[in-house]
Structure 1
Amino acid sequence: MAKRIVNKAERNAERYDAKETGYQLYEGSLKGNKFDRLMPLIVSEQNIILAYRNICKNNGSKTPGTDGKTITEIQSLPIETVIKTVRNKLNFYQPKKVRRVEIPKDNGKTRPLGIPSIWDRLIQQCILQILEPICEAKFHERNNGFRPYRSTQNAIAQCYKMAQLQNLHFVVDVDIVGFFDNIDHNKLIRQLWGLGIQDRKLIMIIKQMLKAEILFNDIVITPETGTPQGGFYPHFLQNVVLNELDWWIANQWEMFKVKDGKSGLEFYRTDKEGNILTIDRSPKWKKLREKTELKEMYIVRYADDFKIFCRDYVTAKKAMYATKLWLAEHLHLQTSDEKSGITNLRKNYTTFLGIKFKVVPKGDKWIIRSHIADKSKDKVINKLRTVWKDIKNPSKQSEIDKNISLYNSMVMGMHNYYCMATMVSADFAEIAYKVNGKSNGMNHNNRCFPITKTGEITSKFIQQKYGKSKQFRWIKGRMIIPVGYVAYEYPKYKRREVNKYVRKYSDIENCISYDVMKYMMGNAHLYPTLEMADNALSRYIAQKRKMCSNTQCPVNNRHGMYTHKTVQR
């Protein structure tokens, strides 16, 4: 059995028996099917409750839109009312105004953020859950942004592979100006149609979402282009728009169709079920190099930030100008000349997702050397310094524990992200000195701030990860995780076949009883509120066994099920 990979959204799908729908849509999309009856799936009871589950624990669900309502409004309603309300709204959908706020950026500028009403967010999630498996089957494998089972780590791993293993040392950067503000609505609708989403009523609803009025400083704005950065669907639509760019770059070389009477230009390695694991296109590429003047290039993308890897400067220069022209003509997106350029990795660093990397000689090869990017390093130092000052000079003694917990969580989070830089250990050693070195008051004789080298590590996880470090310190018995103790971890390259909607990566039949689960879903109306019905089902799934956690009685008799709680004495 393949390794089980689970995230929060996938576990929620299991709760509501929604995974089979995702499998079928994904498999149909792979076959090139057209989907013209998606609305019944979107307004199904399971899909609506799953959408509620996916947004209710999100911090954004507690932020009110223009109507002043939050997720609490939905939680208190009976399940039938929630389902009926969503269905009625989608019959003649008119989204409420989107509340716009300005979020400050590090460079002093602001980023506009759109906050839809809570009911519109629920409807967006209902639609996203149905469209995602269809589009996942059509997205390029090196599109890593805001997709299930994809992360910045996968994007960096792909960059390392291009530079170190494939010797592609010329990198093209093309910066798109104001991407979200300049999305062409008509072009986006045509792209969705081309991906197989051909339910006309759904298309009209998406158009209404794109045209939703924006309320900013008591001024109502009707957008002609773009989509607000907020809610659940903008990044999904971003991937839909730029998917065309991914495949255009791929078709210039790696996916270029070769007309040849002979077979054997591509070799496939499959598993026992016939799923394709890897594709060896080297014979085809050899033929392209010998017989054509095509330019070798590969794209790695995360959201609207992407790199194009080329083998020489001439190819890179042509790729940069061609990409700028293509974006302007086909997607109506403008690019920045100042932020676009070509980097020779043998001489200079290029920055991507907070990591800067280049190649250095080692024997007769070139290998990756990477650091935390300069701007990212400054951000890390400033954030840690701020919390460290609060630890040294707390406004209240009771806040020391809170500040130490915050500091430790920040350090672990930064280690987990930046450990994909090969020189991360040296970078964090520098950060540690600047944040809490002796020059900043980290000494052992400060009476107001007593620090000791001895203490107890209470967490098994921290003991396993940091236990060998001699940099541990304790403040009043509370451990301080060492900033400088981190090692490089090679970023994981995502295997081609790993996908949320591939059946072989789901195996929950041995964990729970579908008979009981379906009974609970079918009788959710017996609970007074949607929140209570959701919590009951969540509790059963979380146990992963057929025993009640309170009474230890078997949960196998559907006629004897009832809700109870443990009273604390």
Structure 2
Amino acid sequence: MEEVVEHHNMQAALKQVRANKGSPGVDGMSVDELPDFLKAHWPEIKDQLLDGTYQPQVIKRVEIPKPRSQEKRKLGIPCVIDRLIQQAILQVLQWRWDPTFSEFSYGFRPGRSAHQAVAQAQSYMEQGYNVVVDMDPEKFFDQVCHDHLMSRLAERLPDKQLLKLIRGYLQAGILADGLVTAPEAGTPQGSPLSPFLSNVVLDELDKELEARGHRFCRYADDSNIYVRSLRAGERVMASISPFITERLKLKVNESKSAVDHPQNRSFLGFSFTGGKSPNRRKIAPKALSRFKTRVKELTRRNQGRSLGQVISTLSEYLRGWRGYFGFCQTSSVLRDLDRWIRHRLRCLQWKQWMVYRRRKAELIKRGINPELAHTAAFSAKGPWRISHTPGVRIALNNQLFDRMGLIRLSAHRRIEPHSNRHGRDPYAWWCGRGDAEKRLPISIPGDKKDESLCISRTRVSSERNGWSSV
């Protein structure tokens, strides 16, 4: 516990909590008010943490719609002071436990991402494992057994006061509809500790799969096992399901778990192509549908905002979406989405011009032949059809949208993640680039053996770029 309340650890936790922002808990305190609160009350709270008398506050329950169903996802919002303490605990436990987690676990771990999990799945398919066993625990975060989780933590955590505090956070009351209830199971989604605790529980599943020699990748509670045939997949499903229910005390979602070809399933928003160009990453159909629904909301024709304002808001969403789904390998889909978005924006602008004479004047002002502008302005076609005509497409061309700051999805090219997809070390791959005489030795930070690796560097001298001493 002394490590948790140590000054530098708490400072780092405070910085992270303020960066995460988030909504106030049941006490109504915002993240911005936390520093002043700590100045007045931290010595008292610290003493309570050290002597084991600190009591976590009630958690506020919030329900949000799930993207793939009509169900609601239950989120728990702790008070900011509890978020701070949980973040401090996480920082102490993470660096001790993370190195022992499976190499094929990618969720909520430093230096790992969903892209690496998808790339790992793709590498299995390239090796001929073209059947996936999609295991989905039912309501995982709501069904985690507290006793089983605490026993896992106690195996490596001798601090009884810290264990008592973690159990207190697991069993903290939940405020929903004006009533406070004590949870019998689960880790509240929304707390800083919850993702780490989920990895502690599911690491047992990872170790079991590794012991059996299965090829798998897991991101949070989304586990995929890759085999060579449907029959083998059925055997794996039949043997792993009892392990999840009996050993981990969880339920398997029968409706979402399946044995199928990866082209028919989605994994972290991605799927894979078949046919003549198999095993290429593509955006899953449901993810595309959600994207189009959101873009339609942002480009409604009756929202009373100018085209520039709409593009500004839309580009913020597109930038984040592209940062994740730009990892796909089907660039034609991104180009089609770009065309579809520009089509909707042309419809929006055409609708806002409204009056026939103004439409004609706007087209002429943008360099359209008066006769062509007259034909388009007085056409009986609706906005969607008229936006396909040459006059409107030339007046509201791609370069105009570029100048207005519209993000192009197809302009994004993402570098492959640093995953060992082909059974080789990424450092070794870099060492093999370029001519041997043009390599620079660069020491690995923290390497006790003081070994060095060679990274190709051509054409540019080291002195000109500040590499005088490496």
Q: Aligned partners of 2:12, 2:215: CA distance in 1, in Å?
A: 37
Which of 265, 277, 284 is matched with 1:373 structurally? 284
1:357 matched residue in structure 2 = 272
List gaps (5 residues or longer) in structure 2.
Answer: 368-395, 427-442, 448-470
Cα deviation code 1:109-163 (max 9, x no counterpart):
2111111111111111111110001111111111111111111111011011111
2:135 matched residue in structure 1 = 174
Within a 5 Å distance, the mapping from 1:182-221 to structure 2 comes to: 182-194=143-155, 196-221=156-181
Give the number of the structure with larger relative contact order, counting CA–CA contacts within 8 Å between residues 6 or more apart: 1
Q: Aligned partners of 2:130, 2:146: CA distance in 1, in Å?
A: 37
Which of 282, 288, 298 is matched with 1:387 structurally? 298
What amino acid is the match of 1:432? D
2:251 matched residue in structure 1 = 334
Residues 404 and 358 of structure 1, relative CA distance in 2, 3 Å threshold: closer
With normalisation by structure 1, the TM-score equals 0.63
Aligned: 1:252 with 2:204 = no
Contact 1:473 1:479 in 2 (8 A): no
Which of 65, 71, 88 is matched with 1:109 structurally? 71
Q: Aligned partners of 2:366, 2:148: CA distance in 1, in Å?
A: 62
Which of 410, 414, 418 is matched with 2:321 structurally? 414
Once the 2 structures are TM-superposed, how far is the Cα of residue 429 of structure 1 from its aligned partner? 3.0
Q: Aligned partners of 1:415, 1:234: CA distance in 2, in Å?
A: 28
Q: Aligned partners of 2:167, 2:334: CA distance in 1, in Å?
A: 48
Once the 2 structures are TM-superposed, how far is the Cα of residue 311 of structure 1 from its aligned partner? 2.2
Contact 2:122 2:281 in 1 (8 A): no
Cα deviation code 1:214-267 (max 9, x no counterpart):
1111111111111211121111111110000011000101xxxxxxxxxxxxxx
Within a 5 Å distance, the mapping from 1:542-561 to structure 2 comes to: none
Cα RMSD (Å) of the superposition?
3.1
Within a 5 Å distance, the mapping from 1:56-75 to structure 2 comes to: 56-60=18-22, 63-75=23-35
Residues 185 and 143 of structure 1, relative CA distance in 2, 3 Å threshold: same
Residues 504 and 211 of structure 1, relative CA distance in 2, 3 Å threshold: farther
Within a 5 Å distance, the mapping from 1:276-355 to structure 2 comes to: 297-345=214-262, 348-355=263-270
Aligned: 1:480 with 2:440 = no
Residues 321 and 83 of structure 1, relative CA distance in 2, 3 Å threshold: farther
2:57 matched residue in structure 1 = 96
Once the 2 structures are TM-superposed, how far is the Cα of residue 56 of structure 1 from its aligned partner? 1.2
Contact 2:326 2:409 in 1 (8 A): no
1:29 matched residue in structure 2 = none
Q: Aligned partners of 1:251, 1:85: CA distance in 2, in Å?
A: 44
1:242 matched residue in structure 2 = 202
2:383 matched residue in structure 1 = none
Residues 204 and 488 of structure 1, relative CA distance in 2, 3 Å threshold: closer
Q: Aligned partners of 2:402, 2:253: CA distance in 1, in Å?
A: 52
2:465 matched residue in structure 1 = none
Residue 480 of structure 1 aligns to a residue whose secondary structure is coil
1:465 matched residue in structure 2 = none
Residue 186 of structure 2 aligns to a residue whose secondary structure is coil
Q: Aligned partners of 1:127, 1:90: CA distance in 2, in Å?
A: 13
Residues 153 and 352 of structure 1, relative CA distance in 2, 3 Å threshold: same
Contact 1:354 1:372 in 2 (8 A): yes
Once the 2 structures are TM-superposed, how far is the Cα of residue 409 of structure 1 from its aligned partner? 2.2
Once the 2 structures are TM-superposed, how far is the Cα of residue 472 of structure 1 from its aligned partner? 3.3
Contact 1:214 1:220 in 2 (8 A): yes
Q: Aligned partners of 1:145, 1:221: CA distance in 2, in Å?
A: 30
Q: Aligned partners of 2:397, 2:101: CA distance in 1, in Å?
A: 45
2:100 matched residue in structure 1 = 138
Cα deviation code 1:297-354 (max 9, x no counterpart):
2110001011001123332211111111100010111112221111135xx4321011
Which of 396, 400, 403 is matched with 2:310 structurally? 403
1:27 matched residue in structure 2 = none
Contact 1:472 1:482 in 2 (8 A): no
Once the 2 structures are TM-superposed, how far is the Cα of residue 359 of structure 1 from its aligned partner? 4.6
Residues 77 and 101 of structure 1, relative CA distance in 2, 3 Å threshold: closer
What amino acid is the match of 2:64? I
What amino acid is the match of 2:99? A
More helix by share: 2
Residues 249 and 216 of structure 1, relative CA distance in 2, 3 Å threshold: same
Q: Aligned partners of 2:314, 2:116: CA distance in 1, in Å?
A: 27
List gaps (5 residues or longer) in structure 1.
Answer: 1-38, 254-296, 455-469, 508-569
Q: Aligned partners of 1:212, 1:445: CA distance in 2, in Å?
A: 53
Q: Aligned partners of 1:310, 1:416: CA distance in 2, in Å?
A: 31
Which of 102, 116, 126 is matched with 2:88 structurally? 126
With normalisation by structure 2, the TM-score equals 0.75
Which of 403, 428, 434 is matched with 2:334 structurally? 428
Percent of residue pairs identical: 29
Aligned: 1:149 with 2:111 = yes
Once the 2 structures are TM-superposed, how far is the Cα of residue 108 of structure 1 from its aligned partner? 2.5
Residues 351 and 96 of structure 1, relative CA distance in 2, 3 Å threshold: same
Contact 1:371 1:422 in 2 (8 A): yes
Q: Aligned partners of 1:89, 1:186: CA distance in 2, in Å?
A: 22
1:291 matched residue in structure 2 = none
Once the 2 structures are TM-superposed, how far is the Cα of residue 89 of structure 1 from its aligned partner? 4.2
Q: Aligned partners of 2:339, 2:172: CA distance in 1, in Å?
A: 50
Once the 2 structures are TM-superposed, how far is the Cα of residue 415 of structure 1 from its aligned partner? 2.1
Once the 2 structures are TM-superposed, how far is the Cα of residue 477 of structure 1 from its aligned partner? 5.7
Residue 118 of structure 2 aligns to a residue whose secondary structure is helix
Residues 168 and 220 of structure 1, relative CA distance in 2, 3 Å threshold: same
Contact 2:312 2:405 in 1 (8 A): no
Q: Aligned partners of 2:444, 2:314: CA distance in 1, in Å?
A: 40
Residue 254 of structure 2 aligns to a residue whose secondary structure is strand
Cα deviation code 1:37-96 (max 9, x no counterpart):
xx1111111111211111012221xx2211222223322246584354334345312111
Q: Aligned partners of 1:121, 1:488: CA distance in 2, in Å?
A: 34
Once the 2 structures are TM-superposed, how far is the Cα of residue 482 of structure 1 from its aligned partner? 3.0
Residue 250 of structure 2 aligns to a residue whose secondary structure is coil
What amino acid is the match of 1:310? V
Once the 2 structures are TM-superposed, how far is the Cα of residue 434 of structure 1 from its aligned partner? 3.8
Which deviates more, 227-236 or 477-486?
477-486
Once the 2 structures are TM-superposed, how far is the Cα of residue 396 of structure 1 from its aligned partner? 4.8
Contact 2:136 2:256 in 1 (8 A): yes
Q: Aligned partners of 1:494, 1:232: CA distance in 2, in Å?
A: 29
What amino acid is the match of 1:52? L
Contact 2:299 2:345 in 1 (8 A): no
Number of residue-to-residue matches in the alignment? 392
Residues 108 and 197 of structure 1, relative CA distance in 2, 3 Å threshold: same
